[in-house]
Amino acid sequence: MKIVNPLGEITININVLKHLVYQSLLECYGLVKMDDVNLISKYLGGEEKGIHLKDEEDGIYIDVYPVVSYGMKIDQVSLNVQQYVDYKFEDMLGIKPIEINVHVLGIKLD
Amino acid sequence: MDKEPSKINAEFLKNGFRKAAEVLVAHRDELNALNVFPVPDGDTGHNMSACVLEACKTLDGVEFDSIKTVSKAIKDGTLMGARGNSGVILSQIFSGFFEVVIKNDRIDIPIFVKAINRANVVATSAVMKPVKGTILTLIEDLAKYSEKHQDEFMDYKHLLEMLTKRAFRVVEKTREMMPKLKQAGVVDAGAKGLAYIVEGFYKYAMGETDINLEKKASGPEMMPETDILPEEITFQYCTEFMVRLFKGVEEKDISSLKQILDKMGDSMVIVHNEDILKGHIHTDHPGLVFEHALNYGDIMKVKADNMKEQHHEVLLKRNGEEVKEEQPAFENDDIDEEVFGGENFNDAVEEVACETKKYAFVAVSPGEGISKILKEMKVDRIVFGGQTMNPSTADIANAIDAVDAETVFILPNNSNIILAAETAAKMRDSEEKHIEVIPTTSVQQGIACLISYVENTSLEENIDMMEAAKSEVVSISVTRAIRDSEIEEHKIIEGEYLFFADKKLISHVAEMEDCLLEGFDGLDMDDYEIMTIFFGKDIDEETVNDLSEKLREKYEDMEISVYDGGQAHYPFYISLE
């Protein structure tokens, strides 16, 4: 991600953004873990698997693939995730992501 | 219940839960005002109330009360009603609790303790990294506490009492646990909500068995909330100017102007060609911007638009209201009278003229007409908000920031806003700027305070006078019941007009006119001399004129004046002095 101002430009590595999303997801209520559609990262991915960021010209697109705990209202949990990531992003970067898509990949029973 | 007082039965669960809902709903606005984590959007109270109220609905549908049916109803209801983070967590707490309860016919203390512990496990298992100082911290603490002291509880009343006390103590501690809460100087809203729920059960156990969920709902609070918040606008005036530069002004002079202006607001754009400079900035001090520009050339054109007002119009538009035409754009070639002589420009000049005043006022207004009246009465900043749209603490704090005075008085003008105002005051109070909240509970009181205020008097005297004025005026509000309910033994039918004098219901009749006349009959009209009527936006002027005629005939000795208040939901606000 690049921010240009009269003094020069600021670039933020995509991994930093990923980590930011990861930290926010940890604090989201209702998520038990992350999963991934990509088989390689599903089994080999580190702690930031299941978080996909696209740095397009018009802004950042975020896709997350969580597993939700059983017995929750899944739509609400997902909405909370969207709102929280959105808020955290703006809070720390001053920029809102363009899209935050939540793909619930599983439900975890106790 | 009395057969075996040391145990809890289905009836206790059902009504205790409803009592808890009542206590929670009663504190809804307080909780909203506290909400800073995780996203400071001021909806925790709403979310938690929605959750428990939904469960109350499912409870009403239960035909045969048994522990099983009641537990299931609460479990399902809270799950279905879960909204927002706090709602989801609350539903998990109940889910865990009743998972244990449902398996037993009667609940004794060990089972109760087990249920709380299960609630804790279920609720905390659903988050990867719990943050300290939230509702989860509270349930965890209660679980541990109840387990540790299990043998010391004499009966469930004692247990609930101890839990309530413990809960509020932990809530106080949340302030220190999370940096975000500490910064804002508040306790966690979700945790406090849970504490109120425990308190509700305790109250029921102590014999407060009358439950009135409708009490709050008789007003129009249940209406949808607006979703754009005024606080999104940081600087209030969209300011533009065009200057013919003096001879000899160089590039570096212009960059120094840029530097000065940049500190005064945001969204700054300055462009210039050989001798004309055009600037745009969002600021709170348009007058100062113009002054600075004057140092570099002759002003050709200026404009300052109040973005909060525009925002307000957007809100009205959404409600299907007609909005007055937009102000002429800057590009208009002829210099419009409105651009120069408009209200905004005057405001700007005023702000330059008296940079630091001794006293300034920030008032909350529920309608456009009332805003206008307040402005005429020298209120420096208006915060828009009313019964259904309580302004947030941040709105009020922003308004305080925008005025420059030694002492700022805040008039919340609504009992639900006093807390937010006090929080904002605490946040902004400093040596240079003293903030004083006059806890006015109605617009009428606010106006009475403004009338009694004297500019060249000491702070204490002014406060005394305002407090006195506040208590002298009788605030009457007339509204319509949006559902059947019961208030202080009066049975209210949906659609009836309700006449409140200082929050006390005087009359309720299907016809508005009868309601007013009957309401006034219920008061000692000989004691008052002045009647001021502010009519709402949902009522046409003809009706108002008819009514005021009738009132003038009936109360000949009284001085009656009528103003367009523009408030929503309340056809009339009336003050008697």
Instruction: Report pLDDT digits (tens) over B154-187.
Output: 888 889 999 999 999 999 988 888 888 887 778 8
Taking CB atoms and an 8 Å cutoff, what residues of chain B touch A72?
Answer: 82, 88, 91-92, 126
Q: Do A29 and B85 touch (CB under 8 A)?
A: yes
The pLDDT, as a whole number, for residue B355 is: 54
**Which residues from B are below 8 Å from A32, CB to CB?**
125-126, 128
Whether B317 has a pLDDT exceeding 70, the answer reads no
Would you call A27 and B88 a contact, using CB atoms and an 8 Å cutoff? no
Give me the total of CB pairs closer than 8 Å, taking one residue from chain A and one from chain B. 58
Residue B3: predicted pLDDT: 45
Give the model's confidence band at B313: pLDDT under 50 very low, under 70 low, under 90 confident, else very high: low
User: What residues of chain B lie within 8 A of the CB of A100, using their CB?
Assistant: none
Q: What is the mean pLDDT of residues B354-367?
A: 78
**Do residues A53 and A68 lie in contact, with contact meaning Cβ atoms separated by under 8 Å?**
no
pLDDT of residue B47: 87
From B165's Cα to the closest Cα of chain A, the distance in A is 27
Average pLDDT over residues B520-541: 83
| pLDDT value for B326 | 40
> What angle do the packed helices B251-262 and B286-294 form, to 10 degrees?
160
Q: Is the peptide bond before B38 cis (omega within 30 degrees of 0)?
A: yes
pLDDT of residue B316: 59
Q: For position B337, what pLDDT does the model report? A: 37
Give the SS3 label for residue B188: coil
Q: Note whether B82 and B64 are within 8 A (CB).
A: no
pLDDT of residue B315: 56
How far does B83 lie from chain A, in Å, by closest CA? Answer: 6
Q: What is the rounded distance in angstroms from the CA atom of residue B166 to the CA atom of residue B138?
A: 9
Q: B337 by DSSP, 3-state: which? A: helix
Q: Is B537 helix (H, G, I), strand (E, B) or coil?
A: coil
For chain B positions 10-39, those within 8 Å of chain A (CB to CB) are 38-39
> Between these two residues, A40 and B160, which has the higher pLDDT value?
B160
Query: What does the alpha-carbon distance between residue B423 and residue B192 come to, in Å, rounded to a whole number?
Result: 16
Tell which B residues from 76 to 135 touch A, by Cβ distance under 8 Å. Answer: 79-80, 82-85, 87-89, 91-92, 95, 122, 125-129, 131
In the predicted structure, residue B140 carries a pLDDT above the cut 70: yes
Task: Evaluate if residue B123 carries a pLDDT over 50.
Answer: yes
Q: How confident is the model at residue B310 (pLDDT cuts 50, 70, 90)?
A: low
Does B323 contact chain A (CB < 8 Å)?
no
Give the integer Cα–Cα distance in Å for B25 and B29.
8
Which of A85-89, B64-68, B493-497 has the lowest average pLDDT? Answer: B493-497
Asked if the model's pLDDT at residue B106 lies above 70, the reply is: yes
pTM tops 0.80: no
How high is the mean pLDDT of chain B? 79
| B225-235 pLDDT per residue, tens | 333 334 445 67
- Determine, for residues B129 and A26 on separate chains, whether the beta-carbon distance falls below 8 Å: yes
CA dist., res. B496 & res. B489, Å (int):
16
- Cα nearest neighbour of A90 on chain B: B39
Q: Identify which of B39, B95, B126 has the shortest CB distance to residue A29.
A: B126
pLDDT band per the 50, 70, 90 thresholds, residue B327: very low
Residue B59 Cα to chain centre, angstroms: 30
Chain B residues whose CB is inside 8 A of the A84 CB are: 38-39, 85
Instruction: Encode pLDDT of A9-36 as tens digits.
Output: 888 888 889 989 998 998 888 888 888 8
Cα B215–Cα B217–Cα B221 angle in degrees, nearest 5:
135
CB atoms within 10 A of CB B156: 22
| Residues of chain A neighbouring B87 (CB-CB closer than 8 A) | 76
The reported pLDDT for the residue numbered B386 is: 63
pLDDT at B506: 84
Task: Average the pLDDT over B236-240 and give the result.
Answer: 79
Q: Residue B48 pLDDT more than 70?
A: yes
**H or E, element range at A107:** strand A106-108
Residue B503 region, left (φ>0) first, then alpha (ψ -120 to 50), else beta?
left
Dihedral of alpha carbons B10, B14, B15, B16, sign: positive
Whether A25 sits inside 8 A of B87 (CB atoms) is no
Min distance B125 CA to chain A CA atoms (Å): 8
Q: Do A71 and B95 touch (CB under 8 A)?
A: yes
Q: For residues A76 and A31, is the Cβ–Cβ distance under 8 A?
A: no
User: Is the confidence metric ipTM above 0.90 for this complex?
Assistant: no
Quick one: average pLDDT of B39-57? 86
DSSP letters spanning B485-512: EEETTEEE-TT-EEEEETTEEEEEESSH
Q: What are the structure tokens assigned to B248, written together?
A: 């000899």
How many residues in chain A? 110
Percentage of the residues of chain B whose pLDDT score is greater than 70: 85
Question: Averaged over B324-350, what is the pLDDT?
Answer: 38
Best of A73, A107, A110 to mutate (most B CBs within 10 Å, chain B): A73
| Residue B81 scores a pLDDT above 70 | yes
- Tell me if A76 and B83 make a contact (CB, 8 A cut-off): yes
Indicate whether B217 pLDDT > 50. no
* Nearest Cβ partner for A26 among B80, B87, B128: B128
Contact B194, B90 (CB under 8 A): yes
Instruction: Give A66-102 pLDDT, tens digit per residue.
Output: 999 888 889 999 999 999 999 888 888 888 899 999 9
Q: What is the pLDDT of residues B436-476, one digit of tens each?
A: 888 888 888 888 888 888 877 888 888 888 888 888 888 88
B271 contact A CB<8A? no
Instruction: Determine the pLDDT at residue B228.
Output: 36
CB A25 within 8 A of CB A51: yes
For residue B280, give the 3-state DSSP assignment. strand
Distance CA A81, CA B102 (A): 31
Are A29 and B89 within 8 A, CB to CB?
Answer: yes
